[in-house]
Amino acid sequence: MARSKKKSSEAKDVAPKKKSHKESRKSALQRVPPLPLLAMLVFLSGCSALVFQVTWMRELRLIFGATTGAVSAVLAIFMAGLGVGSAVLGRRTELAAKPLRMYGQLEVGISIAVAVSPILLAAAGHFYLALGGQDALGITGATAVRLCLAAFVMGVPAFLMGGTLPAISRSATRPHDSHRGALAILYGVNTLGAVFGSVVATFYALEQLGSFSTLMLGCGLSLLAGLVAIRVARGLDPVPVESSAAPSDAEEVQSSATERLTAGQGDSEQGGGGMRGLIYATAAAAGFTFFALEIVWYRMLAPILGGTTFTFGTILGVALLGIGLGGLLYNLIFSRWVTPTLGALALTCGLEAFFTMVPYAAGDRLAVHAAWLTQNAESFAALTGGWLQVTSAVVLGVAIVSGLQFPLLIALLGEGRRGVGRQVGVAYAWNTLGAISGSLVAGFGALPLLTAPGMWVAIGGGLALLSVLLVACDRRGGARTKLTVGLLAAATVVLACFTGPTAGWRHSGIGAGRAKFPSFEPNAVEFLLVENRRGLAWEADGLEASIGVRDFDGYEFVVNGKVDGNSISDASTQVGVALLGAVLHEDPKTAMVIGLGTGESVGWLAEMRAVERVDAVELEPAIDKMVELCAPVNFDALNHPEVRRIYNDGRETVFTTDDKYDVIISEPSNPYRAGVATLYTEEFYAAASRRLNRGGVFVQFLQAYEIDNATVATVLATVRSAFKHVEVWQTLPVDMQLVCSNEPILYSEQELRTRLEDPVVRTALEKVWRTPGVEGFLSHFVANAEWVDHVSGMPGVEINTDDRTILEYRFAKTVGQPSGFAVEGARALLSNEGWHRPSLQGDPVDWRRVELVRQANNLIHKGVLSNALLTRPEDQQLLAALEYYRLGDFKQSLAAWPEAHRQPDSAVLRLVLGHCMAENAQQGCLELVAPLAGLHPSDVHAVRTIYYWYSGSPDESEASLAAMMSSLREEPWGLATLMPLALERAVDLAQRGPEACQRVYGLLEEPFVTHRLEYMRRITRVLVAMQGDDPTRVVDAFAPLEPHAPWQLHLLEARANAYRETDSPLAERAEADVARFTAQSAK
If pLDDT is split at 50, 70 and 90, which confidence band does 31 have?
A: low
Rounded to 10 deg, the angle between the 994-1003 and 1031-1038 helix axes is 20
CA distance 1038 to 1036: 6
Task: Report percent pLDDT > 70 for the chain.
Answer: 93
Q: What is the pLDDT of residue 476?
A: 74
Model confidence pLDDT, tens digit, residues 723-736: 999 999 999 999 99
CA distance 821 to 811: 13
Dihedral through CA 861, CA 863, CA 868, CA 869, nearest 10?
-20
Lowest mean pLDDT across 216-220, 555-559, 808-812, 923-927: 808-812
Residues of the chain with CATH 3.40.50.150: 567-841
How far lies 140's CA from each of 69, 76, 136, 887, 964, in Å?
A: 9, 15, 11, 58, 52
Lowest mean pLDDT across 98-112, 167-181, 634-648, 1016-1030: 167-181
Model confidence pLDDT, tens digit, residues 1007-1046: 999 999 999 999 999 999 999 989 999 999 999 999 999 9
Cβ atoms of 321 and 197 closer than 8 Å? no
Dihedral through CA 899, CA 904, CA 909, CA 911, nearest 10?
100
Q: What is the pLDDT of residue 21?
A: 44
Lowest mean pLDDT across 318-327, 823-832, 882-891, 1072-1081: 823-832
If pLDDT is split at 50, 70 and 90, which confidence band does 748 have?
A: confident
CA distance 954 to 992: 9
**What values do phi and psi take at 887, rounded to 5?**
-80, -5
Asked if residue 174 has pLDDT above 80, the reply is no
**Eight-state DSSP code of residue 597:** T
**Taking Cα atoms as reference points, which of 701, 687, 663, 676 lies closest to residue 619?**
676
How far lies 881's CA from each of 852, 875, 894, 1082, in Å?
A: 13, 10, 7, 43
CA distance 359 to 256: 41
Q: What is the pLDDT of residue 380?
A: 86
CA distance 657 to 910: 48
Q: What is the pLDDT of residue 263?
A: 44
Q: What is the pLDDT of residue 34?
A: 85
Asked if residue 28 has pLDDT above 80, the reply is no
31-241: CATH superfamily: MFS general substrate transporter like domains (1.20.1250.20)
- The size of the chain, in residues, is 1083
**CB-side exposure of 1066: number of CA atoms within 13 Å?**
18
CA distance 173 to 415: 9
Q: What is the pLDDT of residue 406?
A: 87
Q: What is the pLDDT of residue 1027?
A: 95
**Taking Cα atoms as reference points, which of 183, 412, 443 lies closest to residue 282?**
412
Q: What is the pLDDT of residue 242?
A: 57
Cβ atoms of 841 and 748 closer than 8 Å? yes
- CATH for 567-841? 3.40.50.150
Q: What is the pLDDT of residue 178?
A: 62
Q: What is the pLDDT of residue 169?
A: 83
Asked if residue 9 has pLDDT above 50, the reply is no
The sign of the torsion formed by the CA atoms of 605, 608, 609, 613 equals: positive
How far lies 328's CA from each of 186, 401, 890, in Å?
A: 8, 11, 69
Lowest mean pLDDT across 44-53, 796-805, 823-832: 823-832
Exposure string (b/e) for 905-928, b if CB count within 10 Å is 16 or more? ebbbbbbbbbbbbbbbebeebbeb
How far lies 754's CA from each of 159, 698, 767, 837, 1081, in Å?
A: 65, 22, 19, 20, 63
DSSP letter string, 1067-1082:
HHHHHHHHHHHHHHHH
Q: Give the sheet arrangement for strand 536-541, strand by strand.
A: 536-541, 546-550, 556-559, 562-566
If pLDDT is split at 50, 70 and 90, which confidence band does 2 have?
A: very low
What is the arithmetic mean of pLDDT over 597-613? Answer: 96
**Taking Cα atoms as reference points, which of 677, 76, 909, 793 lies closest to residue 436?**
76
Q: What is the pLDDT of residue 747?
A: 80
Q: What is the pLDDT of residue 339?
A: 82
* Domain covering 256-499: architecture: Up-down Bundle (1.20)
**What values do phi and psi take at 652, rounded to 5?**
-60, -40
How far lies 776's CA from each of 126, 848, 907, 1042, in Å?
A: 46, 11, 11, 45
Model confidence pLDDT, tens digit, residues 337-372: 778 888 999 999 999 999 999 999 999 999 999 999
**Taking Cα atoms as reference points, which of 215, 92, 210 lies closest to residue 154?**
215
Residue 695: left (phi > 0), alpha (psi -120 to 50), or beta? left
**Taking Cα atoms as reference points, which of 435, 427, 323, 426 lies closest to residue 75?**
435
**Taking Cα atoms as reference points, which of 792, 969, 817, 810 lies closest to residue 207?**
810
Higher pLDDT, 1083 or 1000: 1000
Helix (H, G, I), strand (E, B) or coil at 563: strand
The answer for residues whose C-beta is within 8 angstroms of residue 918's C-beta and 6 or more apart is: 925, 943, 944, 946, 947, 950
What's the chain's average pLDDT? 89
What is the arithmetic mean of pLDDT over 56-64? Answer: 89
Q: What is the pLDDT of residue 685?
A: 97
E-strand spans in 506-660?
536-541, 546-550, 556-559, 562-566, 590-594, 613-618, 643-647
**What values do phi and psi take at 739, rounded to 5?**
-100, 115
Cβ atoms of 207 and 804 closer than 8 Å? yes
If pLDDT is split at 50, 70 and 90, which confidence band does 494 have?
A: very high
Q: What is the pLDDT of residue 251?
A: 36
Report the predicted TM-score, pTM, of the whole model to 2 decimal places.
0.90
Beta pairing, strands 643-647 & 692-703: unpaired
**Eight-state DSSP code of residue 643:** E
The answer for residues whose C-beta is within 8 angstroms of residue 983's C-beta and 6 or more apart is: 961, 1013, 1016, 1017, 1020
**Taking Cα atoms as reference points, which of 170, 207, 785, 642 lies closest to residue 418?**
170
CA distance 825 to 875: 18
Lowest mean pLDDT across 178-182, 663-667, 787-791, 821-825: 178-182
Exposure string (b/e) for 735-764, b if CB count within 10 Å is 16 or more? bbbbbbbbeebebeeeebeebbebebbebb
- Asked if omega into 733 is within 30° of 0 (cis), the reply is no
E-strand spans in 516-675?
536-541, 546-550, 556-559, 562-566, 590-594, 613-618, 643-647, 661-666
Model confidence pLDDT, tens digit, residues 466-485: 999 999 888 777 888 899 99
Cβ atoms of 425 and 91 closer than 8 Å? yes
The answer for residues whose C-beta is within 8 angstroms of residue 1062's C-beta and 6 or more apart is: 1031, 1032, 1035
CA distance 161 to 228: 17
How far lies 852's CA from each of 405, 496, 869, 991, in Å?
A: 69, 59, 9, 41
Model confidence pLDDT, tens digit, residues 564-581: 999 999 999 999 999 999
| Three-state secondary structure string covering 272-341 | CHHHHHHHHHHHHHHHHHHHHHHHHHHHHHHHHHCCEHHHHHHHHHHHHHHHHHHHHHHHHHHHHCCCCC
**CB-side exposure of 1081: number of CA atoms within 13 Å?**
10
Model confidence pLDDT, tens digit, residues 381-393: 888 999 999 999 9
**What values do phi and psi take at 695, rounded to 5?**
80, 5
Q: What is the pLDDT of residue 248?
A: 38
Model confidence pLDDT, tens digit, residues 112-127: 999 999 999 999 999 9
**Taking Cα atoms as reference points, which of 532, 658, 634 lies closest to residue 575?**
634
